[in-house]
Amino acid sequence: MLFLLSKTFSKASPLVFSKLFKTYVRPLLEFDNGVWSPILQKDILCLESIQRRATRFTFGKNRPPYCEGLRLMHLCPLSDRRKRWDLIITYQALSPSQYLRSHQRASSKVA
């Protein structure tokens, strides 16, 4: 998917390519983040390498360092996003959220 985007939109600005990456590639990388989050360093590096490749495609031969490329594309590392999702899932599990209350009401009406 990333390769096709890079070939199709080879002349796109970093901001446009960032939107394409967020729309088409990142959802595939973050699918079921709340259920599965990589623990092994090789799995983490494998996921991060895709985002590194996206910054490489965006800036071409005169690319900035990875951190600077992320900043220019308005992205953050995938590890930070996984930590954020872990915190959100933990908060939702530990606090009585609106979703759980509405789900309990619906199930009590059925029974």
pLDDT tens-digit readout, 20-41: 888 888 888 878 766 777 888 8
Structural domains of the chain, count: 1
Query: C-alpha angle 21/22/23, rounded to 5°?
Result: 90
Average pLDDT, whole number, for the chain? 79
pTM value is 0.65
Q: Which domain holds residue 7?
A: 2-110
pLDDT in tens, 42-59: 988 888 888 888 888 888
4-19: average pLDDT? 78
Name the band, by pLDDT with cuts 50, 70 and 90, for residue 61. confident
Per the model's pLDDT, the better-predicted residue between 110 and 93 turns out to be: 93
